[in-house]
Amino acid sequence: MNIQEIEDRYLIPLYAKRDIALVRGDGCFLFDENDKRYLDLTSNYGSSLLGYNNTNYNQALKKQLDNIANAHSSFYSDTRASFLKKLHSIIPQEKSFLCSTGTESVEAGIKFARIATEKTGIISAKMGYHGRTMGALSATAIPKYQKPFLPLVPEFKHVAFNNIQDLEENLDENTAAVILEPIQGENGVIIPDKDYLQKVKELCEKNNSLLIIDEVQTGFRTGNWLASDYFEVKADILCLSKGLGNGFPVAVTAVTKEVSDNIPKGTHSTTFGANPLACCAGLVTLQEIENKNLLNNSKEVGNFLLNELQSLESPLIREVRGLGLMIAIELKQRVTPYVRELQEKGVLVMLNGNIMRILPPITISKQEAEMAIEKIKQVLC
* Residue closest to 51 by CA, chosen among 294, 223, 327, 330: 294
Verify that 281 and 359 share a domain, yes or no. no
**Helix, coil or strand: residue 248:** coil
Q: Which long-range contacts (CB under 8 A, 24 or more apart) does 337-346 make?
A: 338/379, 338/380, 341/379, 342/375, 342/376, 342/379, 343/18, 343/20, 343/38, 345/375, 345/378, 345/379, 346/36, 346/37, 346/38, 346/39, 346/375
Residue-wise pLDDT for 315-335, tens only, equals 999 999 999 999 999 999 999
Angle at 241 between CA 220 and CA 62, to 5 degrees: 95
Q: Cis omega before residue 361 (within 30°)?
A: no
CA nearest neighbour of 182 among 210, 159, 211, 156: 211
68-77 pLDDT, tens digit per residue, is 999 999 999 9
Looking at the structure, tell me whether residues 105 and 251 fall in a common domain.
yes
For position 331, what pLDDT does the model report? 98
Q: Tell me the per-residue pLDDT of 280-290, one tens digit each, with 9 for 90 and over.
A: 999 999 999 99
Cα–Cα distance measured from residue 201 to residue 209, given in angstroms and rounded to the nearest whole number? 9
- What local confidence, expressed as pLDDT, does residue 10 receive? 96
Measured between alpha carbons, how far is 260 from 25 in angstroms, rounded to an integer?
40
**Which pLDDT value is given to residue 227?**
98
pLDDT value at residue 309: 98
260 and 320 assigned to the same domain: no
Whether residue 6 is predicted with pLDDT greater than 90 in this model: the reply is: yes
298 and 336: one domain? yes
Gyration radius (Cα) of the chain, Å: 21
Characterize 285-295 residue by residue with b for buried, 16 or more Cβ atoms within 10 angstroms of its Cβ, and e for exposed.
bbebbeeeebb
Instruction: Give the Cα separation of 358 and 8 in Å (integer).
Output: 27
Find the mean pLDDT for residues 105-128: 98
Closest CA to 269 of 69, 96, 73, 84: 73
Angle at 127 between CA 121 and CA 133, to 5 degrees: 60
- Give CA–CA dist 222/36, Å, rounded: 30
Q: Do residue 9 and residue 90 come from a single domain? A: no
Q: Where are the beta strands (DSSP E) in the chain?
A: 22-26, 29-32, 37-40, 95-99, 121-125, 156-159, 175-180, 210-214, 237-240, 251-255, 317-323, 326-331, 347-348, 350-352, 355-358
Instruction: With a cut of 90, say whether residue 352 has pLDDT above it.
Output: yes
Q: Specify the pairing of strand 37-40 against strand 347-348.
A: parallel
- Is 90 exceeded by the pLDDT of residue 105? yes
CA dihedral sign, ordered 367, 24, 48, 20: positive
Q: What is the mean pLDDT of the segment spanning 290-315?
A: 98
User: What does the pLDDT look like over 353-369, one tens digit per residue?
Assistant: 999 999 999 999 999 99
Tell me, what CATH number does 337's domain have?
3.90.1150.10
Q: How far apart are CA 130 and CA 150, in angstroms?
A: 17
- What is the count of structural domains for the chain? 2
| Domain interval for residue 340 | 3-53+294-380
pLDDT at 181 (0 to 100):
98
Q: Is the pLDDT of residue 16 over 90?
A: no
Residue that terminates a domain, selected from 291, 309, 342:
291
- Mean pLDDT, all residues of the chain: 97
- Do 246 and 267 lie in one domain? The reply is yes
Domain termination site, one of 270, 291, 312: 291
Q: Are the beta carbons of 236 and 261 closer than 8 angstroms?
A: no
Beta-bridge partner residues of 99: 251
Statement to judge: residues 212 and 127 lie in one domain: yes
- Tell me what pLDDT residue 313 has: 95
Q: The CATH number of the domain where 225 resides is what?
A: 3.40.640.10
Same domain, residue pair 220 and 88: yes
Indicate the residue among 231, 260, 291 that finishes a domain. 291
| Co-location of 32 and 87 in the same domain | no
CB 113 within 8 A of CB 177: yes
Tell me the per-residue pLDDT of 158-217, one tens digit each, with 9 for 90 and over: 999 999 999 999 999 999 999 999 999 999 999 999 999 999 999 999 999 999 999 999
Walk across the sheet containing 326-331 and list its strands: 317-323, 326-331, 355-358, 350-352
pLDDT for 239-296, tens place per residue? 999 999 999 999 999 999 999 999 999 999 999 999 999 999 999 999 999 999 999 9
Q: Above 90 in pLDDT, residue 1?
A: no
Q: Is residue 206 located within the same domain as residue 70?
A: yes
d(CA 165, CA 156): 18
Helices 336-344 and 366-380, packing angle to 10 deg: 130
Sheet containing 121-125: order of strands: 95-99, 251-255, 237-240, 210-214, 175-180, 121-125, 156-159
Length of the chain: 381
Q: 269 and 133, same structural domain?
A: yes
> Is residue 272 domain-shared with residue 240, that is, in the same domain?
yes
Name the strand (E) or helix (H) holding 112: helix 102-117
